[in-house]
Chain A
Amino acid sequence: MAIEGEAIPSQLRKGVVELAVLALLHRGEAYGAEIVDRLVRYPGLAISAGTAYPLLNRLKKSGLITSEWQESPVGPPRKYYRLSPAGERAFVSMTKVWTAMSTDMTDLLGKDTTHA
């Protein structure tokens, strides 16, 4: 079942992983390593830290997420990310696009796999 994460063409992954990070932050704030760790649970979405931080940087620059340092009960302080109001709006509209696309893609791909 596991899709080889890195084997998926990067362009396809790029937008989806972006939505995945927004979805994760929609559920609540998280710090960098936490985002990576939580996405690892989804083999299809797993990203390395080397992918996660540039992505967080981009999302932050485009104003979709904000960050704030917080004291950690263990170890050094952590920088937590959360969705900005613009990020919430982007998440909602991207989710709509994703839902429509995913239905269409399932239909489109489904026809092929039944013949395969």
Chain B
Amino acid sequence: MRDASEPLPGDGLPPVGADALLDDYFDRLRAAAVRLRIDIDADALAELLAHVEHRLDGTDRSGDEARRVLAELGEPEALARAYTTDDRDSDVNGDFDTDRGSESGLDRDGGTDAAARGHRDLTAGSAGRVPRTHRAGRFLGVPYDTRQPTSERFASRSWDPSDPSILVPKALGVGWTVNFAALAVRAHLIRPDDEDEPFAEAPARVVTATLAAPVLAGVAFAILAAVTWAGLPDTVPSHWGATGEPDGYSSRTANLLILTGFIVVPLLAAAWVHLAGRPAWNRVAASAGSLALALVALVSMLQTLYSVQGGTGIWPTLIGLGLTLVLPLGLLVAVSRSGRAAEQRRDFASASKKGSVS
């Protein structure tokens, strides 16, 4: 926090009146709120001012008195942050980011005022605690996030074994997405604490190999497209109604381009996450996400081919969508088990060393 090391207003300066100190304090508070994108409404500010005036009532309103009263409120920045904390604490489902650790709020020195809360934020803070901003939060109970997506956020939403919620806020956009890890826990495929950090201990080659899954799906798509392209009519069905009858058509070229984009763009993003040396958690989740989207494209292609050849119904889509859930889930579970096995090897090895020493 930038202001933490600054002295309280007026230290070392010629004597100033209470009013100047109050103005300065509230200016800094407002500035901090703007910078942190925290709403402190007019009522709350008026209440704070009234509190300060009440405390100063009957004193000589000297600089020293004002400093004493303002010190009770803590640093302006810590105070501004405390307003976020209150907001989030009042929202039971409010921890919508990866930084649940900062919510634990272990207040080791037992302080109870805003200053202590500021201190807690300081100690927990830099790990990416996100103040409630206009860019992410909830509207009418529906989560939204319009911040620039990161592979961390994507990974921690789509695979967080310690979070029992199956539906979690999307990493980008409005609504919810599936926490595959919660599904895996419910299905008894993994336990919530199998890995300290997802995939962190899995062998590097396993983590890298996960990128092969979306690549293979892409290759399958390319082969299928190459083999069938010549036999397709100029317009192909590309959308189906609930009864399974095609109700939307597009040119075969547009169809192919869109589906190719569905495979290539996520694959490039996933490859970037791998090449940029992001943590294994991000990398494996990126592979799985890319695999899911590649499978969607593959399934859409198969459904089109099936319809062109006179097939009725959308069962290829139904089976295919099942696979787009099951295959990425299988990939994630397999890597998680690999990580768990690596943790166990590590701990058993150190245990047997200890045993041989004693």
Contacts and interface: CB of A to CB of B under 8 A. Distances in A.
A68 interface: yes
A15 interface: yes
Contacts of B89: 11
Contacts of B351: 68, 70
B100 A68 contact: no
B104 A53 contact: no
B164 A53 contact: yes
B193 A53 contact: yes
Nearest to B100: A58
Contacts of A67: 193, 196
A77 B164 contact: no
Contacts of B194: 79
Q: Dominant SS at the A interface?
A: helix
A90 B108 contact: yes
B193 A32 contact: yes
Interface string A64-105: 100111110000010100000000011001101100000000
Interface string A28-72: 000010000000000000001110011111111110100111110
Contacts of B311: none
Nearest to A98: B110
B11 interface: no
B53 interface: no
A21 to B, nearest CB: 11
Interface residues of B, number: 28
Given A32-B191, A32-B193, A53-B192, A93 B110 contact: yes
A18 B100 CA distance: 14
Given A50-B164, A53-B162, A62 B104 contact: yes
Contacts of B193: 32, 53, 56-57, 67, 79
Q: Dominant SS at the B interface?
A: loop
Contacts of B343: 69
Given A50-B164, A53-B164, A97 B344 contact: no
Contacts of A60: 196
Contacts of B110: 93, 96-97
A27 B298 CA distance: 55
A47 B120 CA distance: 25
B101 A58 contact: yes
Nearest to A67: B196
A113 interface: no
B92 interface: yes
A5 B336 CA distance: 33
A54 B163 contact: yes
A10 interface: yes
Contact of B344 (A53, A69, A89): A69
A54 B92 CA distance: 14
Contacts of A32: 191-193
Instruction: Determine which residue in B92, B104, B107 has the highest number of CB atoms from chain A within 10 A of its CB, and name it.
Output: B104
Interface string A1-31: 0000000001100010010000000000000
B261 interface: no
Interface in B320-358: 343-344, 346-348, 351
B105 interface: yes
A18 B347 contact: no
A110 B329 CA distance: 54
A79 B92 CA distance: 29
B162 A64 contact: no
Contacts of B104: 18, 55, 58-59, 62
Given A15-B105, A48-B164, 18 more contacts: A10-B92, A11-B89, A32-B193, A49-B192, A50-B164, A53-B162, A53-B164, A54-B163, A55-B104, A56-B193, A57-B101, A62-B124, A69-B344, A79-B193, A93-B108, A93-B110, A94-B108, A96-B110
20 contacts: A10-B92, A11-B89, A32-B191, A49-B164, A49-B192, A50-B164, A56-B162, A56-B193, A57-B100, A57-B101, A58-B104, A62-B101, A62-B124, A68-B351, A69-B347, A70-B347, A77-B344, A94-B106, A97-B107, A97-B110
Q: Lowest 9 A-B CB distances belong to which pairs?
A: A50-B164, A53-B192, A57-B162, A69-B347, A61-B101, A58-B104, A69-B344, A97-B110, A53-B162
